[in-house]
Structure 1
Amino acid sequence: MGLFLVVFAFFLLVVLAMSVGFIMQKKSISGSCGGISNLGMEKACDCDEPCDDKKARMAKEEEWQKNRIH
C-alpha cells in the first residue's frame, strides 16, 4: 500500500508540473496537426451540398431551437 501511495504521489507531481508548464506557455490546446482551422476549413464537412443524414440533423436542431423555451 505504501508503494502505491508513493507512485500515486509521483504521478500527481508529474501532472501538476506539466499543467503548470502548459499554463506558463499561454498557448491554447490544439490537436497534433493544429486542427481543421489550420486547413482553412470552418466546418467539419466542407461539402457544397450536405448529405441526407446531415440535412435531417440540421432540421432537427433547427426545430429544437425554434421550440425551446427562452
Structure 2
Amino acid sequence: MSTFIAAFVVLLLFFLLMSIGYIVKKKAVEGSCGGLGVLGIEKACDCDDPCDKRKRRMEKEQARNELLNQNRII
C-alpha cells in the first residue's frame, strides 16, 4: 500500500510542476520535434485517396485558411 501512495504522490508532484510551468510560461505542453516527419510520412493518414470524413475535414481547414488569409491585415 505504501508503494501505491508513493507512486500517487510522485504523479501528483509531476502534475503540479507541469501546471506551474504552464502558468509561468503560458505555453502548452508540446510533443517532441521527432514524430512522423522524421520517418518521411507527411501526414498521419498517408493513403492516396482519403476517406470522405477526412476530405470534409480538409475542405473545412482549407476554407478556414482562405478566410483567414482574406481578412489578414498584414
| TM bucket, shorter chain | 0.3 to 0.5
TM-score calculated relative to the size of structure 2: 0.44
TM-score calculated relative to the size of structure 1: 0.46
Report which of the two structures shows the higher radius of gyration computed on alpha carbons.
1
